[in-house]
Amino acid sequence: MQNERKGMEMDFIDRAIQNGLHISGKTELDSQTWEEFEKKSAGKKVLLFGAGACADFYFMRYKEKAVLNGVIDNDCKKHGFYADDFISEAFYIKDRRIKITGSSFLGQYHAGEAVVLISSTKFYKEISEQLESLGILDYFVLLIMEANERKSKGWPYLESADDSLKKTIFAEECCRRHPVEKKKVFFRAYGDYTDHGKYITEALVKIRKDLDIVWALDDMTTEVPEGVRKVNKGNWKKFIYEMETAGMWVLDLAVPSYVVKREGQIYLQTKHWASITLKKFYLDASTFEEVPELVENWKRDGKMIDHVITGSDFDEESCRRGFGFQGEVLPCGSPRSDAMFHEEENRKKVYGHYKIDGKIKTLLYAPTYRFDKKKGKSFHSAKEVELDFGQIKKALEERFLGEWNILLRLHPSVAQACKNMEKPDFVIDVSDYKDSQELASAADIMISDFSSIMFEPAFVKKPVFLFATDIQDYIANEYDLLIKYEELPFAAAESNEELAWNIRNFNKEAYVEQVGQFLEGYGVHEDGHASERVAEYISKTIGE
């Protein structure tokens, strides 16, 4: 058996079998076969229980012959969406538009009318008990049937192709079968519906109602403007289809290696920072040299990009180096930074979300991640929060008066580190809030360390302070800086005592003058209308 399987990729069924998940301990379950399932389901309704990745296997096995009369899932976030929103292999199946429901859907069937196929490899025991409690005994477990199939044949029923190759083949198939749709605009961001893409979208829907705007999301319950379609990032077939058929891409990440850029498609790279950034990035960063595949990926991307959206001469120069980009930039400004010019609106939104009294002032503390010293520079870790919340709150109240809350915002890649952190009542964890620009706009003051979000409150002259106990170590071992730390227009501290002193001795007039000179020197002129300019460009380029 080992020789027969040599060279085959291990798939999720193999991994589940390797971990012993295919053994239920119930004789009648452990002997189930696909032949028995086909015989039992003939002439009956087939209901799929589980809309996760494992459901793909049912459609991979039966392809267009797959029968599907209902999809059930215990995850309420999937309810109301369609089968092909989450199940990649349902893409070409005629019944893919069946809506996903909860287990109450089973109540409409009498005994013997339907057969349930459980697709979950981890929770099929719990699901089988759930079905039995509802009086449903005709159910089959996909994992067990496939394990028995492979055991009888001595090798996997389906040879699992390398994921990247499989996706490349499908992308090429999309290119052959489906034309580019000029009025389709595809958005993808580092987070979900956030960053520059969010603000461009909201400006675009105001001036064009005839465009097919598609957002790739992890969380399909994310609210988007009316008329914007959502595609699940995890559903790779729909993701590739939407991207390959879109006339324009608006991205802040690299194009996946398996996606083909077609003639007539336009690629706008927004990046996920503002008009000025502190750290070198991508091809300009020495840290990238340690990961050759990332270097090649961004070199490929730089050749595909048609335009980079920039907000200053400094921004253009750093983007040309970082992206390896030689094309035309769009000097429209920083769309996401438009939020800074809508403080009252964003304050109501953020304060309402966290139920903060409108009379309370807020400090946003937004430190960035550090590289994981054990795993390497491709992995992020959260630095221990060393801010003395009590001491800093006292300094804020002495200098700026009033009552203060501190909003703690860790970088999205390490946000989970906040969950078990002990914090005083006046410290609010906002790490799970999707739009960091709304937070920066709502807060009265910001403290950061090396995150480039530090510049955005400064666009509207809000006070910004820097606090990092590892300045020299960071510069030596983390990122190369584009701007010398000591040349930033913000008071920097390496201890809580120094930070508290900087806050107490803050001089607003001197700060405003210093920030103004700094931004002028780097050619930054944000005015709150960048997203409108990008939207106008997109509209004009697409045409009527």
pLDDT value, residue 371: 66
Question: Which of 514, 413, 531, 536 is CA-nearest to residue 461?
Answer: 514
Convert the pLDDT of each residue in 327-349 to its tens digit.
999 999 999 999 999 999 999 99
pLDDT value, residue 56: 86
- Ranges of CATH 3.40.50.12580 domains, the chain: 338-521
Helix 530-542 and helix 195-207, axial crossing angle in degrees, nearest 10: 60
Question: Which of 250, 280, 247, 282 is CA-nearest to residue 268?
Answer: 250
Please check whether residue 127 is in contact with residue 55, taking contact to mean a CB–CB distance below 8 angstroms.
Answer: no
Other CB atoms within 10 A of residue 439 CB? 25
Indicate the fold that domain 338-521 takes in CATH.
Answer: Rossmann fold (3.40.50)
Q: Which two tokens stand for residue 50?
A: 């589980």
Separation in Å, CA 539 to CA 191, 204, 211, 333, 341: 25, 8, 9, 17, 24
Residue 19 reports pLDDT greater than 50: yes
More confident residue, 306 or 160: 306
Of the options 3.40.50.11820, 3.40.50.2300, 3.40.228.10, 3.30.460.20, the CATH number for the domain spanning 165-334: 3.40.50.11820
- The conformational region for residue 63 under phi > 0 = left, psi -120 to 50 = alpha, else beta, is left
Please check whether residue 21 is in contact with residue 123, taking contact to mean a CB–CB distance below 8 angstroms.
Answer: no
Burial class (CB in 10 A: 0-12, 13-18, 19+), 256: middle
Among 12-16, 102-106, 120-124, 242-246, which range has the highest average pLDDT?
242-246
Adjacent-strand bridge partners of 481: 279
pLDDT value, residue 392: 97
Give the rounded percent of residues in the chain with a pLDDT score beyond 70: 93
Q: Could you report how far apart the first and last alpha carbons of the chain are, in Å?
A: 61
Q: Which two tokens stand for residue 95?
A: 């019944």
Adjacent-strand bridge partners of 380: 371
DSSP code per residue over 269-291: E--SS-S--SB--GGG-GGGGG-
pLDDT (mean) for 138-147: 92
pLDDT value, residue 381: 61
Which band of pLDDT confidence, cut at 50, 70 and 90, is reported for residue 375? low
Tell me phi and psi for residue 453, to 5 degrees.
-65, -15
Convert the pLDDT of each residue in 406-447 to its tens digit.
999 987 767 676 777 788 999 999 998 999 999 999 999 999
pLDDT (mean) for 222-247: 95
Q: How far is residue 512's CA from residue 164's CA, in Å, rounded to a whole number?
A: 51
Please check whether residue 151 is in contact with residue 14, taking contact to mean a CB–CB distance below 8 angstroms.
Answer: no
Which band of pLDDT confidence, cut at 50, 70 and 90, is reported for residue 5? very low
Indicate the fold that domain 12-153 takes in CATH.
Answer: Rossmann fold (3.40.50)
Convert the pLDDT of each residue in 149-165 to its tens digit.
887 776 543 434 457 77
Q: How far is residue 385's CA from residue 472's CA, in Å, rounded to a whole number?
A: 18
Residue with tokens 């290696």: 257
- Ranges of CATH 3.40.50.11820 domains, the chain: 165-334
pLDDT value, residue 97: 79
Tell me phi and psi for residue 104, to 5 degrees.
-60, -20
pLDDT value, residue 376: 57
The whole-chain average pLDDT of the chain stands at 89
Convert the pLDDT of each residue in 465-485 to its tens digit.
999 998 888 888 888 899 999
The radius of gyration computed from the CA coordinates of the chain, to the nearest angstrom, equals 27
Q: How far is residue 245's CA from residue 237's CA, in Å, rounded to a whole number?
A: 12
Per residue in 341-374, is it b (16+ CB within 10 Å) or e — as a string? bbbeebbebbbeeeebeeeebbbbbbbbbbbeee
pLDDT value, residue 124: 93
E strand residue ranges, 64-221: 70-72, 100-101, 114-118, 139-141, 181-188, 212-217
Residue 360 reports pLDDT greater than 80: yes
Residue with tokens 């070198």: 280
Residue 3 reports pLDDT greater than 80: no
Question: Which of 64, 57, 59, 78 is CA-nearest to residue 11?
Answer: 57
Beta strands at 445-448 and 361-366: parallel, antiparallel or unpaired: parallel
Q: Which two tokens stand for residue 119?
A: 């697709």
Residue 8 reports pLDDT greater than 50: no
Convert the pLDDT of each residue in 484-512 to its tens digit.
999 999 999 999 999 999 999 999 999 99
Q: How far is residue 117's CA from residue 71's CA, in Å, rounded to a whole number?
A: 10
More confident residue, 92 or 439: 439
Question: Which of 99, 93, 86 is CA-nearest to residue 62?
Answer: 93
- Ranges of CATH 3.40.50.720 domains, the chain: 12-153
More confident residue, 111 or 382: 111
Taken as a whole, the chain contains a residue count of: 544
pTM (2 d.p.): 0.82
Q: Which two tokens stand for residue 433?
A: 């809030």
Convert the pLDDT of each residue in 254-294 to its tens digit.
999 999 999 999 999 999 999 999 999 999 988 777 778 88
Separation in Å, CA 503 to CA 76, 440, 493, 537: 47, 18, 10, 42
